Amino acid sequence: MKPIPSRFIIAIAAMLAIFAPAAAYTQDKYTLQSPSGIGFSDFKGYEDWSMVSSARTEEVLKVIVANPTMIEAYKAGIPSNGQPFPDGSKIAKLQWKPKKSTEAPFDVDVPDIFTQAFVIEKDKARFPNSGGWGYALFNYDAALETFTADPSPSDCGHACQSQGSHLPPLPEALSRARRAPRRCLLRSPGR
């Protein structure tokens, strides 16, 4: 067996020293905490939640997804029936920059670069001063492929919540699902 040349070992060691730290670091977004005390970990699995609404502005495509607790509340007629959403209700407003589809045979915008997740959580014990709702904003830097907790306070959420504008209205799909619970609900993109 031939010995491995020392310059080869040095070259491999140098490459590992340069590239290993970058390759080994993958951000765990679920370790992030917002200034309001909401952890991204509170929303683990949001990628599989049901879609309840979407919106579009000139700059942003938005999809709102809700966890099973919130979906069940919608099916029960909340908020239209005057009952409050139960603790554990969670929604995430996911935002992308739009781009024109190059594949569709018609003019349509599709999601391009993901930009942020605005999350809302109901927990009366943790958020007594905002009607039981907690709010946080997590920005995404596509170039670095990392999330950061937005340092600005998210109290706008409570002001909007007081007016009822942060919660999407009961979508037609959920209205049908309430009458026929076995139907499939809308799914989040990519699922």
Residue 158 has pLDDT above 90, yes or no: no
Among the listed ranges 28-37, 112-121, 134-143, which one has the minimum average pLDDT value? Answer: 28-37
* CA–CA gap between residue 142 and residue 127 (Å, rounded): 31
Unique residue bearing structure tokens 């993958």: 26
Enumerate the domain spans of the chain: 29-179
Widest CA span in the chain = 81
Position 185 scores a pLDDT of 34
- 160-173 mean pLDDT: 50
- 2-22 mean pLDDT: 50
Question: What is the CATH class of 29-179?
Answer: alpha beta
pLDDT-derived band at 176, boundaries 50, 70, 90 = very low
| Burial of 90: CB neighbours in 10 Å, binned 0-12, 13-18, 19+ | buried
- 43-49 mean pLDDT: 94
Position 58 scores a pLDDT of 86
* CA–CA gap between residue 94 and residue 18 (Å, rounded): 35
pTM, entire model: 0.70
Q: Which residues are bridge partners to 148 per DSSP?
A: 139
Q: How far is CA 20 from CA 9, 13, 24, 62, 146, in A?
A: 15, 10, 6, 36, 18
- Do the Cβ atoms of 91 and 120 come closer than 8 Å? yes
- 130-138 mean pLDDT: 93
In this predicted model, which residue has the larger pLDDT, 85 or 22?
85
Quote the DSSP letter at residue 136.
Answer: E
Mean pLDDT of the chain: 77
Residue 96 has pLDDT above 60, yes or no: yes
Residue 16 has pLDDT above 50, yes or no: no
- Do the Cβ atoms of 114 and 95 come closer than 8 Å? yes
Residue 153 has pLDDT above 60, yes or no: yes
- Do the Cβ atoms of 122 and 87 come closer than 8 Å? yes
Unique residue bearing structure tokens 């599709």: 110
> In the chain, pLDDT over 70 holds for what percent of residues?
66
CB atoms within 10 A of CB 2: 4
pLDDT-derived band at 22, boundaries 50, 70, 90 = very low
Position 2 scores a pLDDT of 63
Position 184 scores a pLDDT of 31
